[in-house]
Chain A
Amino acid sequence: MRSSRPLSIETRIKVILTAIAMALTALTVGTALTQGFFERAGEARLLLETARSAASGLPADHVEPLLKRLKPFWKEAPRAQGAETVRSADGQEWRFVLDRAAIWNALVYRQRYVLVAGLIGLLVAVELAVFLAYSLTRPMKILAWGCEQMRSGRWVRLPTLSRTPYELEALNEAFNGMVDDLKRWQEFQKQAARVERLAALGSVAAAVAHEVKNPLASMRIHLDLLRGRLPEKEKDCLEILGAELDRLNQTVSQLLSYARPRPPLFGPVDVRDLLSWTASMTSTPCRLAAVNLSWAVEEGCPPIWGDGPQLKQVMLNLVLNAVAAQPNGGSVRLEAQRSGQNVALRVEDAGPGIPAELLERIFDPFFTTRPDGTGLGLSIVHRIVEGHGGRIDVESTGQKTVFSVTLPTAPPGKKES
């Protein structure tokens, strides 16, 4: 049916164990039979010798019953070649040969349990072989299945099997390790591709921003020049035009600072100053949105080692986001406290929060959910915080959002002291 297929492990183990069981049985039974045969033959000869010497002194009719006792091992063969002869005192002769078949039969009968036990042993050996083969092939089967799954694009981990030999377990673990690494590698590649894409986007954006910035500046100047010459009732239009220009300018500056960030100029930044500045800068938007802003700095909070203007931009962006998230009123709370060698700044609002599926994208440039947003705010924050060797975390539920920025209090070299 499938003669071309090589033998399976099960068949191989079965062949080996069968051969061993058969050889062992053949050996033990063969030895027992051969030894038994020679012993019996020896005994028979002894019996014959005694009978012969006894017969030589007896008359024929007394010898007959004596010869009966030779029966099981000797059979009469009057005309056989090489037969043993027994002669009575009055000269009658009997000829005997060894009855080998009878001896063999008796011996086999004596050994019958050993033979059957050998047969049973053979069957037990085969059944053990089957389970032995199973315990070997099961992990391989699962491994093959895993490879198959991977090939068809499904990530799987092999389950840990109970009672497998450790070598096969190692195989299993190696496979799982490989899967994990592959997965990480794939993840990493995805990340790298995204970074590359963003970088390309950033440089295009920077070029565009740069080209737009100069015309914008000149438009602003000419707008201011126009202001003196126009009649009073047209000035409203100019006002709007100016505000829009400013907004455009700000967007372009943001874009530039994202795409071509200025390296931070490090120095001690007082946390209290930072927060009070942020509060005063955002008081107008807060008032407009009916948001209640409060701030607190922990007693004895050390200064941050960082770039003052950049840190101000971080806080400003976070607070503006928080305000924007609660257009119908709410609260924003700023806190600063020491945490080990670092300072933790928290910006907490009572807005609707960020949906979980968006959380990992909010730091991407141009990601925004607001119609008038640029989506650059948080990406700039992220870049600044990273440039400071700090970290930023978000926690968001349906009732509140907390951004916490952790920044070092000392330059990296001095950290250990």
Chain B
Amino acid sequence: MPFLLLQILVFGAYTLALVFLAGEAFNWKEDRRLFYVGGNRLTLVPMVGTFVATWMSAASVLGYTMWLYADGYVAFTGSVNGWLIGLLFMPFIVRKLRASRALSLPQWLGDTFGDRRLRSLSAVSLIGAYTFYMVIQFRAFGTIVATLLDIKVIVASALVYLFVLYTTFGGLPSVARSDTLNLALILGGVLLAAGNLLKRAGSLAAVHAAIAERAPAMLHPWSEGWSPLVTTLMMLSWGLGVAANPQYAVRLLSARTTRDAYGTLAYSSLIIGAIYAGLTVLGLSAFVLFPGVRAASDELAFTRLFSLALPPLPALALFLAVLAAAVSTANSQLLLAACSLCYDLSPREGRNRGDLVTEDRFLFKNRLAIAGIATAALALSQFRLPGVLLIGRYSWTVVAICFFLPLYVIRTPRPRALFVPLSAALLLHLFLTVFLGILPELALLPALALEGLLYFWPRRKGP
């Protein structure tokens, strides 16, 4: 059978699996709690599925592997390490979050400080961050499929757009179900590909030996170019960004019990570790076996490298894993963006369900928002705007500024006391990034410091 046909059939099979496993889009007894947080009833398996699948984005699978392929272990120190640090923070907020019955993180923030402005501010930054992150997912997957099938990027992006749209229409229950499928594909694809390459390279020790001979700097965990300070700061701010990311926090809210929430974190860290280990093996052995593959973008280089390095079937499994990673991350981000738009930015929406008809209308509005935001992201992904990535990183750190302090640092919130420190931190961040041209991730740290200082200062002076 022609390989191209096989590829398309595999994508078709994925479509069918998604359509019939992700289940109902319009639940018969749905309300906003079910739609946003799965009615706080998700059990351990879908919880782990959706947590890990959301964690592994196409950008991180690609970006990490290709960075590793180019620079070696410094990629781990510079990115994954930081993300895993973020994961370590998470157990500390489980109880705090679950004590509130909020449906979204902006709502939690607004409720905790009795301040609607905080809710709107964080909702706006969430919409921005997630929209731009979706752009990245669409683009990553679009480029890969476009290269594989030799079709236009827009057609390939439309495919992932429709996958994402379909799974998000059902709200969190359907996102979680499809994420479980996606996690299986990610894990399977990465491990299959890694195992295949490792068999050809001999063993991990052989890979290390080969690297030590050819490019010993790659085994060094710190970059020569960066000072350890910058690396540490980078790591820290990645960690803070992940720790404060509502896309994980909201999953802790939706677990059925607190025990399940802790269990999710524990099992997820194991699976995430396994996937990163697989990706590490992939990147390093690919370097040993097929060095020197270059292309205009990470996505192109990834496709070219692994079409070359892997036999057709494991390569297909790996690309399917990237598709699954893109879909599973984008749909949860899309859901959160729609939630921010329809729920957190609409002052009249209460947390409890209205009567049947208003609830129905409200959720329909959410679906329109989902379609609208996804379409906007698809359109943005087709313009080769140079700034898109930067805006994405920028809004990302804004989200971290909004949530890190209240989630992890402030123990007893004072009503309406956070808005001013938060605004000052955002302004400082804007100033540092736009006028001084500092990386948004690095500017995050002084901004957070200022926010903390302003928040805690008056209390020390007060009676």
Interface residues of A (CB under 8 A from B): 8, 10-11, 14, 18, 22, 101, 104-105, 108-109, 112-113, 115-117, 119-120, 122-124, 126-127, 130, 133-134, 137-138, 141-142, 145, 159, 161
By the criterion CB–CB under 8 Å, are A130 and B162 in contact? no
By the criterion CB–CB under 8 Å, are A142 and B356 in contact? yes
Known: A112-B151, A115-B5. A127 touches B165 (CB 8 A): yes
Interface residues of B (CB under 8 A from A): 1-5, 8, 11-12, 15-16, 19-20, 23-26, 28, 149-151, 155-156, 158-159, 162-163, 165-166, 169, 356-357, 360
By the criterion CB–CB under 8 Å, are B149 and A137 in contact? no
Closest A residue to B170 by CB, please name it. Answer: A130
Rounded to whole Å, the gap between the CB of A152 and the closest CB of chain B is 14
Rounded to whole Å, the gap between the CB of B289 and the closest CB of chain A is 26
B-side contacts of A113, CB under 8 Å: 151, 155
B-side contacts of A138, CB under 8 Å: 26, 360
Closest B residue to A123 by CB, please name it. Answer: B162
Query: Nearest 7 pairs between A and B by C-beta?
Result: A123-B162, A108-B2, A130-B25, A134-B26, A105-B2, A115-B8, A145-B356
- Docked pose: A101 CA to B15 CA in angstroms: 27
Rounded to whole Å, the gap between the CB of A30 and the closest CB of chain B is 11
By the criterion CB–CB under 8 Å, are A119 and B12 in contact? yes
20 contacts between A and B (CB under 8 A): A8-B24, A10-B26, A22-B12, A104-B1, A108-B4, A109-B150, A112-B151, A113-B151, A113-B155, A116-B156, A119-B12, A120-B162, A123-B166, A127-B169, A130-B26, A134-B25, A134-B26, A137-B26, A141-B28, A142-B356
Closest A residue to B16 by CB, please name it. Answer: A18
By the criterion CB–CB under 8 Å, are B28 and A137 in contact? yes
Q: Give the most central of A22, A105, A123: most B CB within 10 Å.
A: A123
SS class, residues of chain A in contact with chain B? helix
B-side contacts of A145, CB under 8 Å: 356
Contact pick for B19, options A14, A117, A141, A142, CB 8 Å: A14
Contact pick for B15, options A104, A105, A119, A161, CB 8 Å: A119
By the criterion CB–CB under 8 Å, are A112 and B8 in contact? yes
Q: Give the most central of A11, A113, A138, A141: most B CB within 10 Å.
A: A141
By the criterion CB–CB under 8 Å, are A18 and B4 in contact? no
Count A/B pairs, Cβ under 8 Å: 85
Contact pick for A133, options B2, B8, B19, B26, CB 8 Å: B26
By the criterion CB–CB under 8 Å, are B150 and A112 in contact? yes
By the criterion CB–CB under 8 Å, are B159 and A123 in contact? yes
By the criterion CB–CB under 8 Å, are B24 and A10 in contact? yes
Rounded to whole Å, the gap between the CB of B400 and the closest CB of chain A is 34
By the criterion CB–CB under 8 Å, are B169 and A130 in contact? yes
Rounded to whole Å, the gap between the CB of A230 and the closest CB of chain B is 78
B-side contacts of A105, CB under 8 Å: 2-4
Rounded to whole Å, the gap between the CB of B145 and the closest CB of chain A is 9
Closest B residue to A127 by CB, please name it. Answer: B166
By the criterion CB–CB under 8 Å, are A123 and B8 in contact? no
Given contacts A112-B151, A123-B162, A130-B166, 10 further A-B contacts (CB under 8 A): A10-B26, A11-B24, A116-B156, A119-B12, A123-B163, A124-B162, A127-B162, A133-B26, A134-B26, A159-B357
- Docked pose: A238 CA to B158 CA in angstroms: 108
- Docked pose: A29 CA to B159 CA in angstroms: 19
Closest A residue to B158 by CB, please name it. Answer: A120
Closest A residue to B152 by CB, please name it. Answer: A113
B-side contacts of A119, CB under 8 Å: 8, 11-12, 15, 159
Q: Give the most central of B20, B26, B149, B159: most A CB within 10 Å.
A: B26
- Docked pose: A61 CA to B157 CA in angstroms: 52
Rounded to whole Å, the gap between the CB of B180 and the closest CB of chain A is 12
A-side contacts of B159, CB under 8 Å: 116, 119-120, 123
Q: Give the most central of A130, A133, A137, A145: most B CB within 10 Å.
A: A130
- Docked pose: A126 CA to B162 CA in angstroms: 10
Rounded to whole Å, the gap between the CB of B98 and the closest CB of chain A is 24
By the criterion CB–CB under 8 Å, are B162 and A116 in contact? no
B-side contacts of A124, CB under 8 Å: 162
A-side contacts of B150, CB under 8 Å: 109, 112
B-side contacts of A133, CB under 8 Å: 26
A-side contacts of B356, CB under 8 Å: 141-142, 145
B-side contacts of A141, CB under 8 Å: 28, 356, 360
By the criterion CB–CB under 8 Å, are A10 and B151 in contact? no
Rounded to whole Å, the gap between the CB of B198 and the closest CB of chain A is 31
By the criterion CB–CB under 8 Å, are A109 and B4 in contact? yes
By the criterion CB–CB under 8 Å, are B2 and A8 in contact? no
A-side contacts of B165, CB under 8 Å: 127
Known: A8-B24, A108-B5, A142-B357. A116 touches B166 (CB 8 A): no
B-side contacts of A134, CB under 8 Å: 25-26
Rounded to whole Å, the gap between the CB of A130 and the closest CB of chain B is 4
Contact pick for A112, options B1, B149, B163, B169, CB 8 Å: B149
- Docked pose: A109 CA to B7 CA in angstroms: 12
Closest B residue to A104 by CB, please name it. Answer: B2
Rounded to whole Å, the gap between the CB of A255 and the closest CB of chain B is 51
Closest B residue to A141 by CB, please name it. Answer: B28
By the criterion CB–CB under 8 Å, are A126 and B357 in contact? no
Closest B residue to A142 by CB, please name it. Answer: B356
A-side contacts of B20, CB under 8 Å: 11, 14
A-side contacts of B24, CB under 8 Å: 8, 10-11
B-side contacts of A159, CB under 8 Å: 357
